[in-house]
Amino acid sequence: MLIDSYDRVVDYLRISVTERCNFRCQYCMPEKPFSWVPKENLLTFEELFEFVKVCIDEGINKIRITGGEPLLREDLDKFIKMIYDYEPSIDLAMTTNAFLLKGTAQKLKDAGLKRINVSIDTLKPEVALAIAGKDVLQNVLDGVEEALKVGLKVKVNMVPMKGMNSDEIVDVLEYCKTRNMTVRFIEYMENQYAKAGISGMKSQELLSHLAQHYKFEDEGFDGSSPSHYFKMEDGYRFGIIEPYEDDFCKQCNRIRLTAEGFLIPCLYFDEAMSIAESVKKGDIKTAALVLKEVVRTKPEKNRWGGDDAEVSSRAFYETGG
Ligand code: SAM
Ligand code: SF4
């Protein structure tokens, strides 16, 4: 079992399989980066899998594939199948913008993927165009329907932004509720890559807005999920991801791996250690030592919004959010 210096069990690995993306979301990658990581620096799926095996053997029981946009990486279903075949009980999930999901959902489900989180910030085509930099909405919605049809469990992430999509919070919630999908509202996290001038909504503002439409009660946190849940009168639950809150990191159980092989103990900080050389050489012992060291050095908490804020220079599309 992997336990950090604050007695938190680390059992969740997020793998960003590519930093590339087909969207240009204002809060994440509004411009194409000056350069992409050269293809030869990316770990192959075979190399990533060598490390995944180490992680599973050490106690990781939940793996999320993310990016950039993970569906841009060829043969993703084969990577998912490698993990599933090694340990079918792994909670195997993916976060995607769903643009390419319609044609891939069945293949991914057959490979062993169990759940997906889809980012839906709006239900208006022109707002989707403004947020993502291209006309994406229909493909995204078709992707969601297909995922539900093939039996994937779907959650939805929305980043509410004032003057952009904040008037659609209830619409997105209702869209999710009618499809039995949990929606989680994510507080916008400032970062140096985002478009200037974005004004996100904090948890209290979101709750006041929702309270004008619904009655709900606070259910607290659900296990190690970063989401704070609320239950409405009819039993539907929605979540808010509130990294600016003081107790956000208390239950943190995750580490992140980039496509280049950097293992990151906390999204907020720059610190990372590379497993690239060891997995390329097949040196599994060293990879396991790096894993343990990264878990040991996991910081107690992030400092989003603190006076001493000095956020990681790594972009969300690199770390996988
Ligand atoms: N491309 C996929 C997607 O958009 O779902 C996966 C990668 S994306 C980096 C993962 C999650 O991070 C998405 O739900 C996105 O909304 C969220 N995200 C990205 N930048 C963010 C920011 N500045 N503040 C809050 N959430 C952010
Ligand atoms: Fe791409 Fe996801 Fe970032 Fe949007 S949030 S730019 S879809 S990686």
**CA 217–ligand 2 middle distance (angstroms):** 31
Pocket of ligand 2 (CB under 6 A): 21, 23, 25, 28-29, 67-69, 97, 119, 317
Whole-number Å distance between alpha carbons of 164 and 85: 43
Q: Comparing C-alpha atoms, which of 33, 115, 92, 76 is closest to residue 317?
A: 33
> Residue 307 has what pLDDT?
61
**pLDDT, tens digit, for every residue of 44-72?**
999 999 999 999 999 999 999 999 999 99
Q: Is the pLDDT of residue 306 over 70?
A: no
Q: What would the mean pLDDT of 105-110 be, rounded to a whole number?
A: 98
Q: Is the pLDDT of residue 244 over 80?
A: no
**Residue 305 DSSP SS3:** coil
Residue at token pair 């280049």: 260
Residue at token pair 């606070």: 218
Ligand that comes closest to the CA of residue 96: 1
**CA 27–ligand 2 middle distance (angstroms):** 8
> Residue 311 has what pLDDT?
67
Residue 274 token pair:
């590379």
The closest residue, in CA terms, to atom 26 on ligand 1 is 188
> Residue 221 has what pLDDT?
86
Whole-number Å distance between alpha carbons of 201 and 116: 24
Q: What would the mean pLDDT of 105-130 be, rounded to a whole number?
A: 98
Region of residue 22 (left: phi > 0; alpha: psi -120 to 50; beta: else): alpha
**CA 269–ligand 2 middle distance (angstroms):** 20
Q: What angle do CA 182, 312, 162 make, to 5 degrees?
A: 50
Residue 36 dihedral angles phi and psi, to the nearest 5°: -90, 160
Max CA pair span of the chain: 58
- Atom from ligand 1 closest to the CA of residue 27: 23
Residue 158 CA: distances (Å) to CA of 85, 120, 144, 170: 32, 5, 14, 11
Are 27 and 195 in contact by the 8 Å Cβ rule? The answer is yes
State the pLDDT confidence band at 112, using cuts at 50, 70 and 90: very high
Ligand that comes closest to the CA of residue 27: 1
Q: What would the mean pLDDT of 191-204 be, rounded to a whole number?
A: 93
Question: What residue segments make up the domains of the chain, in order of their start?
Answer: 12-214+251-318
Sheet of strand 62-66, all strands in order from the earlier edge strand to the far edge: 216-221, 227-232, 237-241, 182-186, 153-158, 115-119, 91-96, 62-66, 12-16, 254-257, 262-264, 273-274
Superfamily (CATH H level) for 12-214+251-318: Aldolase class I (3.20.20.70)
Pocket of ligand 1 (CB under 6 A): 21, 27-28, 66-67, 69, 95-97, 119, 157, 159, 186, 188-189, 191, 194, 316-317, 320-321
Whole-number Å distance between alpha carbons of 196 and 209: 25
**CA 158–ligand 1 middle distance (angstroms):** 9
Are 265 and 298 in contact by the 8 Å Cβ rule? The answer is yes
> Residue 305 has what pLDDT?
64
**CA 321–ligand 1 middle distance (angstroms):** 5
The closest residue, in CA terms, to atom 18 on ligand 1 is 321
Burial of 38 (0-12, 13-18, 19+ CB in 10 A): exposed
What percent of the chain has a predicted confidence (pLDDT) above 70?
97
Whole-number Å distance between alpha carbons of 233 and 3: 38
Backbone CA torsion sign across 145, 89, 81, 44 = positive
